[in-house]
Structure 1
């Protein structure tokens, strides 16, 4: 069974990320972002959303654990910031129902949602420039980088919240991430 650690960056929806995965039959643990990296024993990591880039704990170190990573909202932003991208204030703050254009129908995380999906998103801060090695995989009228992927490193990010009911195909995003984790786990054995 696939094991996923959801890293708690103190966001208001983190428990929903854990619940969504648990309800899909995943062996999932919720861990504080101060958990030492050597205590992470999972097939994949979800970096949750949260309120503050100054309170990301050990998240930068988790990016070096050689397991797939999915960053959600702040989780995506911290990936971009740590790996050489650029994060800045969004022009549209607050939560909203957003139509997201999927740019790559071959992307392992979002390709199955092509050509578009409706999501629940917050854009107080957002990725302005993806890091080297990443591709922008989704965009919208309110955010230029709604999602990004580095398929070589199996690191992905979405600006929106797949764990909430307002995101129409959120479970599919998690299913696709689990497929990536399963493939990587088999390759490591």
Structure 2
């Protein structure tokens, strides 16, 4: 059975990420972000959201694993920051319902959501420049990088929260990620 580990960056929705993965039918565990990657057996890794880039523990070390990695909100920002992208303050903070335009309908993580979807997102901080090798795969009126992908390295991220009920088709995003891990 496929096993996906959620690395907990102290986000308020981390438990929902684990539940969404279990609902897709994979074995799931939530591990504290102080857990070294060498202690974790997984076919894929989700880097959860969270409140602060300074509290992400060993999360960036999971990028060196040879498994797909999916960053959600802070998790995506962490990927960008660790790999040479740039994170900055968003113009629109707080949680809100946002219409996201999918820019690449062939993208393995979010392409199936094209041409657009409604999501629940926070934009207090956001990726403002994707790292080398990444493609911006979604945008909105309030955020230029709602999603990014580097399929060659199996690294993916979304600014929004697919695990919450307010996000349309959020479960589909998790199903897409699981298919990358199988």
* Normalised TM-score (structure 2): 0.99
Runs of 4 or more, structure 1, over 4 Å off, are: none
Q: CA offsets per residue over residues 90-118 of structure 1, 9 Å max, x none?
A: 00000000000000010000111110000
Q: Distance in 1 between matches of 2:116 and 2:80?
A: 23
Residue in structure 1 matched with residue 171 of structure 2 by the alignment: 171
Q: What displacement does 1:22 show?
A: 1.1
What stretches of structure 1 of length at least 5 have no aligned partner?
183-189
Residue in structure 1 matched with residue 83 of structure 2 by the alignment: 83
Residue in structure 2 matched with residue 41 of structure 1 by the alignment: 41
Establish whether residue 113 from structure 1 lines up as the match of residue 130 from structure 2: no
Residue in structure 2 matched with residue 187 of structure 1 by the alignment: none
- Matched residue SS, 1:63: helix
- Matched residue SS, 1:118: strand
Residue in structure 1 matched with residue 143 of structure 2 by the alignment: 143
Q: What displacement does 1:136 show?
A: 0.1
Q: What displacement does 1:24 show?
A: 1.8
Q: CA offsets per residue over residues 59-101 of structure 1, 9 Å max, x none?
A: 1111001110000000000000000000000000000000000
Q: Distance in 2 between matches of 1:37 and 1:149?
A: 22
Equivalent residues in 2 for 1:17-36, closer than 5 Å: 17-36=17-36
Q: What displacement does 1:120 show?
A: 0.2
What stretches of structure 2 of length at least 5 have no aligned partner?
none
Residue in structure 1 matched with residue 96 of structure 2 by the alignment: 96
Count how many residue pairs are aligned between Structure 1 and Structure 2: 182
Residue in structure 2 matched with residue 129 of structure 1 by the alignment: 129
Q: Distance in 2 between matches of 1:91 and 1:151?
A: 29
Q: CA RMSD in A?
A: 0.5
Residue in structure 2 matched with residue 53 of structure 1 by the alignment: 53
Residue in structure 1 matched with residue 4 of structure 2 by the alignment: 4
Q: What displacement does 1:40 show?
A: 1.4
Q: Distance in 2 between matches of 1:170 and 1:58?
A: 26
Q: What displacement does 1:171 show?
A: 0.3
